Structure 1
Amino acid sequence: MSQDTPYIYDVTVNTFDQQVIEKSFQQPVLVDFWAEWCAPCKVLMPLLAQITESYQGNLALAKVNCDIEQEIVGRFGIRSLPTVVLFKDGQPVDGFAGAQPESEIRKLLEAHVQMPAPRAADPLQLAQELFAESRFAEAEAQLKVLLSEDNGNARGLILYARCLAERGELGEARTVLDAVKSDDAHKAELAGAKAQLTFLAQAAQLPDGAELKSRLAQNPQDDQAAYQLAIQQLARQQYEAALDGLLKLFIRNRSYDEGLPHKTLLQVFDLLGNDHPLVTTYRRKLFAALY
């Protein structure tokens, strides 16, 4: 059955008073009366364990094996299994018989057990999630909170610079990145952020994507249009399309502009990070094209 933890445990006739009655003065205790032969018991117990763990110490779950602990069964007049009883301040205060859905069990507990206070979100993690969803202003707000408390946080500064860059504040973003101390721990992230600034600055000086696509439709061998379209796509975070275009250009003309497609591919790898699935895929494709 379910694994014991500090808040989930078996009780016997010798430990029931201490682990249920006395303990219920400190925190509510759910008592699960079960038996090995009872199929609904085996469905219910993992659910009770999951619910108990969600209370992070504000609730305990005591398990009574009714095949063995007949004295406890008789003491509380248990007639059907599974039966679950909630003890609080030394007394049974609520309960149910038979398997129940999670929503009903939680509804029963709401009146008696306090849910733990939610943990404060990590501003950096939240900012990263917001940035990934292109919610740059909200990410920036989270980073300002973080940097007001730790203005030397390298990862926070790098992401803050990327938010500024997405808003078109390229000069300010570069100033922030120049203030980041480059060390091995943040080398790739810093290189990636600088690459993003480069792509955004370049894209601002290039024809728009529609014009470049039109040129390529007329002449698929237009290497300049292919490269410039990839830069426009990178500036708009269309990474897969950009990587695909750069790789095809590299395969078709690897010496274009002194090997610029290859150099740009490596910059994009820095920008996305080694764990990104696109980087894994396109590193492999680039390797195959090189060798």
Structure 2
Amino acid sequence: MSNNPYGSGYGAQTMGAATPKAPPAGAGANGAGPLIKDTTTANFAADVIAQSRQQPVLVDFWAPWCGPCKQLTPILERAVMAAEGRVKLVKMNIDDHPSIAGQLGVKSIPAVFAFVDGQPVDGFMGALPESEVTAFIERLGGPGEDPVAAALEEAKALLAAGDAGNAAQLFASILQHDPSVLGAVAGLVECYLLAGDAVHARTLLDQVPADKADDPALSVARTKLKLMEEIAALGDPVALQARIEGDADDHQARFDLALIAQARGHRAEAAGHLLEIVKRDRSWNEDGARKKLIEFFEVWGAMDPATKDARRRLSTLLFS
């Protein structure tokens, strides 16, 4: 639909501008130097000993005449690249630089040593299958990060930073990959709500399977949608304020102003209106003002300053 800023349905968008660019082949994580390099006797201390204090370093001792070396080296390189910076690979030609291999007692090649914190901690000899090399690296550097979890955290960070457009694209891409990620559903709903699109937010929530509809991951999103739908039915805030000035006990007008203030992000003002109703008539609308304030607390979060202040003031009204 033309009025839908993020597409309709879970799979309507790709990551687009939110997709992080891949580093150049062989580049280190976050630009921290190459993942794969050749070294010399003179550079061994810097390339291996020092680097292994930052992350595990594999040292591949090889020679040009060694057939199994030619089998193992590309396997090592692929596995190290797939580990995305959790380990580095340093290759040493023992024909040109035999002393380090001799000090480590290398008797045959290929020989691979794993260095951690400046010390050799593990290794193997011979051309292993790629699955065994990958398992060796995982034991050394830990399993790779869950890409869906990483993308979800990135999308949440974009949303928190106010970049709802790129956040929405990333949330939608996650759902295209795996529609069961409820955190991405909640995030995309919030993006719709920030764009003022309650219709698509409601459609997205309605697509959630019935057995997961009450999942806590969606509770805040549902509450925000409920508030937006309520606000859509409200009147002119100027007229509502005039009604209060004419009758301080016009609790409905004050209640509607609280919802409008919440929609505009004026949390202290919204809480103030509801607290005033509680102060004047706790029983109004079956304790509706206090119940709405509790909903606001859920949306704002327990640690938000507005929540803390309003909760303290509510406690004073209720228990003093």
Give 1:275 deviation, angstroms: 3.4
Alignment of 1:239-254 (within 5 A): 239-254=267-282
Contact 1:215 1:225 in 2 (8 A): yes
Quick check: 1:232 aligned with 2:252?
A: no
Quick check: 1:22 aligned with 2:59?
A: no
CA distance, structure 2, for counterparts of residue 244 and residue 126 of structure 1: 35
3-state SS, counterpart of residue 152 of structure 1:
coil
CA distance, structure 2, for counterparts of residue 56 and residue 20 of structure 1: 25
Q: Would you say how many aligned residue pairs link Structure 1 and Structure 2?
A: 184
CA distance, structure 2, for counterparts of residue 28 and residue 133 of structure 1: 36
Q: Please point out which of 162, 165, 169 is paired with 2:193.
A: 165
Distance 1:24 1:128, change over 3 A: closer
Deviating beyond 4 angstroms after TM superposition, the runs of 4 or more aligned structure 1 residues are 55-58
Quick check: 1:255 aligned with 2:283?
A: yes
Partner amino acid, structure 1, of 2:193: A
3-state SS, counterpart of residue 168 of structure 1:
coil
| 1:30-52 deviation digits (Å, cap 9, x = unpaired) | xxxxxxxxxxxxxxxxxxxxxxx
- Structure 2: stretches of 5+ with no match in the other structure: 1-40, 52-84, 89-146
3-state SS, counterpart of residue 227 of structure 1:
helix
CA distance, structure 1, for counterparts of residue 258 and residue 313 of structure 2: 17
Contact 1:243 1:282 in 2 (8 A): yes
Give 1:28 deviation, angstroms: 7.1
Identity score, percent: 26
In the other structure, the counterpart of 2:165 is 137
In the other structure, the counterpart of 2:120 is none
Quick check: 1:211 aligned with 2:233?
A: no
In the other structure, the counterpart of 1:221 is 249
| 1:94-132 deviation digits (Å, cap 9, x = unpaired) | xxxxxxxxxxxxxxxxxxxxxxxxxx9943334334434
Contact 1:161 1:177 in 2 (8 A): yes
Alignment of 1:1-291 (within 5 A): 22-26=44-48, 122-178=150-206, 179=208, 181-182=212-213, 186-187=215-216, 189-291=217-319
3-state SS, counterpart of residue 286 of structure 2:
coil
Distance 1:284 1:211, change over 3 A: same
CA distance, structure 2, for counterparts of residue 217 and residue 23 of structure 1: 79
Distance 1:20 1:281, change over 3 A: farther
RMSD, aligned α-carbons: 3.2
Give 1:164 deviation, angstroms: 1.7
CA distance, structure 2, for counterparts of residue 136 and residue 202 of structure 1: 23
Bigger relative contact order (CA 8 A; separation at least 6) = 2
Give 1:153 deviation, angstroms: 1.0
